[in-house]
Amino acid sequence: MRPVYMISGGITKFAKAHPRKDFRLMVKEAYDYALADVPRLTKEMIDGAVGSYFSDHFTRQLKAASMVQDYLGLCPKPSKRVEGGGATGGLCFQSAWEAIASGRMNCCVAFGFETMSRVNTWKGNEFIALASDTNFDFPVGGFYTGYYAMMVQRHMYEFGTTVEQMAMVSIKNHTNALYNPYAQKAKRLTIKDVRESPMVATPLTMEDICVMSDGAAVCILASEEVAQQVCHRPVKITGVGSGSDAMRMADRPRGKVILLPHESEADYRHLHYPGVHSFRGGRMAAKLAYEMAGITNPLEELSFVELHDAYTSSEIQTYEDLGLCRYGEGGQFVESGAPFMASIEYGLELPDQGRLPVNPSGGLLACGHPVGATGLMQAVFAFWQLQGSIEKHLGNDQLQVPNPKRGLIHSHAGTGTYITVSILEACE
Amino acid sequence: MKAKGTVVLGVDPLIIHDDYHIEYHHSYAQDSPFFVGLSQGKLRGSRCSACGYTFATPRAHCMECGAPTEWIDLPLTGRIHTFTTCYYGGELFLEETPFTLILVEFEGINTLFLSRLKGCDPSTVRIGQPVVARFAKTPSFKVTDVWFEPTGP
């Protein structure tokens, strides 16, 4: 495999609705932004593209990625669509990585988008729930928030995780987003605000859940040769991993924890794993990505994480899958202050504030979740972090992690059915 | 009554009302005996013919080893493995809110079963609570032909 670099990225503002822009124009804006950042990259140097969007129902257009390909002027170069639920963007990123790593392409555009505003919120929830088993799960009351609520109820039962700890995730991500002009839903919150907002599915309230969004994101990946030629500060992709689990939560078997290098079997003697409280596919994705990147202790060796926080609860569950803390300690991890930004005031007492910032961008909770764009948005924010160019792109440096060496992005589908983890590193 | 012509929802940009309806001939295929079983008051799961793994939600082939499974009758009583009460939902189920979803665990069965919990105050539901299956008198041949009710605290 050849080394692969990210050389540019672009994002549209994520918004509840972009009625004046269809999916083609949203991607075009993100693409033009990315191109403008690497002026030495010519169209002739781009070998092909991978497009991602989650739902044909939302887009009301099958083969929509083909329409983007022609709108961007990339025909007749190679192209395809990648779809994998909530992990669509992460899978798209890794598909572009594969194109470069294999030597098939020297420069590949990964674009993703979702247009979720063209139906009402509850029809949208129905579309999303169609990504659960339509014989056994969907007809019972298909609703993803309900599925995640059941998972966290079990997490709370097994480990003593609290709704206040979940609310802290909401406060963190919504506050971070105050400094991210691309975000849809930035605001200051208190634990009381989160708990008193309308209950959606016990124990998850409106402020525990990400919102639907219109938006697009673009990443440009390249070989070492192209990266050196056109980009003054490329970022190296040093690890990719992905994992999967059974579509139905009810089918999750109970076995042993997939261990990371810094863990031992004795840590989890009494844990039935993954049950419905943990994401085995996320742990598998992390293990593979860490092995490729040579990471043995993620908490010590990562500078920041952008993870798939569709729910406050799933951010806590994901800390554990990624090995940032042991299984069962996710609630204490957020309470410690470790995943908060060091230099931002949250109105909370945080003894270990800023040890490993998680979702500096505001994550899905505050940026929004235009599904096909989300995983690529994370890559763009990670790229800007590692370039040290947050101020240039966001207009302020509040969210710039100081001297970041290595970032992790994590994209997640279904109730954990496809999960990707990719590791990006700053170049010396 | 369906409106004739096009309903215009906005003019700048131009936004129109659009509609798309699909009818399926949905086959339960190899899962059919489960849905027929519900109409007979039976809850049918699967047992792997090779490794013995048991599934509360049936499947014709074992998820662990790939061998064919055989049908088994599940007990009609179990316990709540986890739960939630939904106050919102997908459009199709919005009118039914609030409703309580549970994953049911059965003695001696390796996997769980998703169902609704009825006949109780949602605030009293807890993990480990014993429940019993109830069946629709008139089957609709959907998984909602079965639901559960608590038999104790």
Over residues A331-341, the pLDDT tens digits come to 999 999 999 99
Could you give the CA distance from residue A379 to residue A359 in angstroms, rounded to a whole number?
12
Q: Is residue B8 part of a domain?
A: no
DSSP A340: S
Element (H, E) at A223: strand A214-223
The confidence band for A428, taking pLDDT boundaries of 50, 70 and 90, is confident
What amino acid occupies position A421?
V
The confidence band for B73, taking pLDDT boundaries of 50, 70 and 90, is very high
What average pLDDT does chain A have?
97
- pLDDT one-digit tens code per residue, A200-241: 999 999 999 999 999 999 999 999 999 999 999 999 999 999
Residues of B in contact with A201 (CB under 8 A): 84-88, 101
Q: Is residue B35 part of a domain?
A: yes
- pLDDT one-digit tens code per residue, B104-125: 999 999 999 999 999 999 999 9
SS3 of A21-41 = CCHHHHHHHHHHHHHHHCCCC
Residues of B in contact with A166 (CB under 8 A): none
From B111, which residue of chain A is nearest by alpha-carbon distance?
A251
Chosen for mutation from A153, A155, A197, A207 (greatest number of chain B CBs closer than 10 Å) is: A153
Query: Which residues are CB-neighbours of A232 under 8 A, at least 6 positions away?
Result: none
With 90 as the cut, is the pLDDT of residue A166 above it? yes
The CB density around residue A73, as the number of other CB atoms within 10 Å, is 11
Alpha-carbon distance B81 to nearest alpha carbon in chain A (angstroms): 8
The confidence band for B81, taking pLDDT boundaries of 50, 70 and 90, is very high
Q: Is residue B51 part of a domain?
A: yes
**Phi, psi at A112, each rounded to 5°:** -145, 155
pLDDT of residue B3: 58
- How far is CA A19 from each of CA A104, A186, B8, rounded to the nearest angstrom? 38, 21, 14
Closest Cβ–Cβ partner in A139, A200, A276 for B87: A200
Classify residue B1 by burial, with Cβ atoms within 10 Å: 0-12, 13-18, 19+: exposed
Q: Is residue B31 part of a domain?
A: yes
Residues of B in contact with A19 (CB under 8 A): 10, 13, 15
Residues of A in contact with B31 (CB under 8 A): 135
Q: Is residue B105 part of a domain?
A: yes
Instruction: Inspect the interface and report whether the beta carbons of B103 and A20 lie closer than 8 Å.
Output: no
The confidence band for B1, taking pLDDT boundaries of 50, 70 and 90, is low
pLDDT of residue B2: 59
pLDDT of residue B153: 83
Closest Cβ–Cβ partner in A128, A135, A150 for B84: A150
Instruction: Inspect the interface and report whether the beta carbons of B84 and A253 lie closer than 8 Å.
Output: no
What ipTM is given for this predicted complex? 0.96
The confidence band for A349, taking pLDDT boundaries of 50, 70 and 90, is very high
Instruction: Inspect the interface and report whether the beta carbons of B82 and A151 lie closer than 8 Å.
Output: yes
Classify residue A230 by burial, with Cβ atoms within 10 Å: 0-12, 13-18, 19+: buried
Q: Is residue B10 part of a domain?
A: no
Instruction: Inspect the interface and report whether the beta carbons of B103 and A276 lie closer than 8 Å.
Output: yes
Looking up tokens 């109970």 gives A254
Instruction: Inspect the interface and report whether the beta carbons of B114 and A140 lie closer than 8 Å.
Output: yes
The CB density around residue A212, as the number of other CB atoms within 10 Å, is 24
- pLDDT one-digit tens code per residue, A92-120: 999 999 999 999 999 999 999 999 999 99
Q: Is residue B141 part of a domain?
A: yes
Instruction: Inspect the interface and report whether the beta carbons of B99 and A139 lie closer than 8 Å.
Output: no
Instruction: Inspect the interface and report whether the beta carbons of B88 and A122 lie closer than 8 Å.
Output: yes
Residues of A in contact with B99 (CB under 8 A): 141
Chosen for mutation from B61, B103, B121 (greatest number of chain A CBs closer than 10 Å) is: B103
Whether A403 contacts chain B with CB within 8 A: no
With 60 as the cut, is the pLDDT of residue A52 above it? yes
Could you give the CA distance from residue A295 to residue A293 in angstroms, rounded to a whole number?
6
Whether A253 contacts chain B with CB within 8 A: yes
pLDDT of residue B152: 84
- Count up the domains in chain B and report the number: 1
Residues of B in contact with A126 (CB under 8 A): 90-93
Structural domain of residue B133, as residue ranges? 24-150
Q: Is residue B1 part of a domain?
A: no
Whether A414 contacts chain B with CB within 8 A: no
Residues of B in contact with A198 (CB under 8 A): 87
Q: What percent of chain B has pLDDT over 90?
A: 94
Classify residue A197 by burial, with Cβ atoms within 10 Å: 0-12, 13-18, 19+: middle
With 80 as the cut, is the pLDDT of residue A298 above it? yes
